[in-house]
Chain A
Amino acid sequence: MSQLIRMDHTGHTVLAEWTMGDQASVDGAVARFREQLDQGYFAVVSRGEGHAEQVRELPLEAETVILRRPIAGG
């Protein structure tokens, strides 16, 4: 079961869960994913030790996709 997680004021929120064989869950996750990107979130997937990749399409094979807000110089 893969998860789409958003870091927010609650700590984090699981927005969607999907499995590759369940098309309805995939469609739901893709819809939530696009909705969050439209709201200004960036989606990130861990790629091994010390590496992460920003993704613009939901990677269905990923175990966890994390949504983060933009950072800025203080």
Chain B
Amino acid sequence: MPNQGGLPELAGVWWRRRVSDRSLTRAGRLWTLSALAQTIPLVAAALVLAALRPLTIPVGLILLAHAWAIPELYAARGARVLKPPSRGRRSPPEAERLALGLLGDLLDHRPRELQRRTGLVLERGRLGVWLLGEAGALLVRPGGRRVHCYCVRVPDPELPAADRIAHLLLALREDEVGFATVANLAFAGAPWRVRRRVPAPVREALAVALAEARRRPVQAG
């Protein structure tokens, strides 16, 4: 299927439907339903076993542990998208400095300051408020009740960290919907499930993005 406008990378994922506000809402609900479908049977089985035969309480506890662990594993996968990738070697300091300068030129004052403190770039879009890292992006939906975590990167390990983010930022600004379509969804759920799994700088950036998503309605069109 030819790329019908938008991000050129869409040609590489021609089988995917372009995301929309509605499809994101649906995907978020499906993630919640999926988590419930996996945990409720385990909890129910633990309770039934305990009620029928108290001797099976240890087995029930194992089931409850599974019911707790499965959603936690999903949330951990989501939190990892903003973690810098482990690389064999870092770029030379001069390259990192140059890349940081270029990235700073692309940002307004407040996002630039946030990027310097946290390493993440905040960008407001039509679908919500984005946080961009070296190898992933997190979208805070309007209202701030749900986040979508995406694995997305520029597949060139030689690039400095700031350049990797600048690549994602430019692609996002070119075509936000295309960007969300090309990226792989790793997790969708409540922000608190991600927040408690990320380091302090990422928590700070997430708090700013949540406040931004709650404060102003997303621009139409």
Contact = CB atoms under 8 A, between A and B. Distances in A.
A is bound by B:
yes
Interface of A: 5, 7-12, 42, 44, 46, 49-54, 66, 68-74
Contact of A9 (B8, B158, B162): B158
A47 to B, nearest CB: 8
B153 A7 contact: no
Interface stretch (B50-58, B166-174, B200-208): B166-174
27 contacts: A7-B99, A8-B163, A9-B158, A9-B159, A10-B94, A11-B94, A11-B98, A11-B160, A11-B162, A12-B99, A12-B102, A49-B108, A50-B124, A66-B170, A71-B9, A71-B153, A71-B167, A71-B171, A71-B179, A71-B182, A72-B9, A72-B152, A72-B182, A73-B183, A74-B135, A74-B152, A74-B183
Nearest to B157: A9
A66 to B, nearest CB: 7
Given A66-B166, A69-B156, A71-B154, 6 more contacts: A9-B159, A42-B8, A54-B7, A69-B154, A71-B9, A73-B151
Nearest to A73: B184
Q: Which of A9, A12, A46, A74 has the most CB of B within 10 A?
A: A74
Interface string B106-134: 10100000000000000111000000000
A12 B170 contact: no
Contact of A46 (B106, B125, B136, B159): B106
Interface of B: 7-9, 12-13, 81, 91, 94-102, 106, 108, 123-125, 135-136, 150-156, 158-160, 162-163, 166-168, 170-171, 173-174, 179, 182-184
B154 to A, nearest CB: 5
A43 B174 CA distance: 11
A9 B124 contact: no
A-B complex: 7 closest residue pairs judged by Cβ atoms: A11-B98, A74-B151, A73-B184, A52-B173, A9-B158, A11-B99, A11-B95
Contacts of B174: 44, 52-54
A72 B153 contact: yes
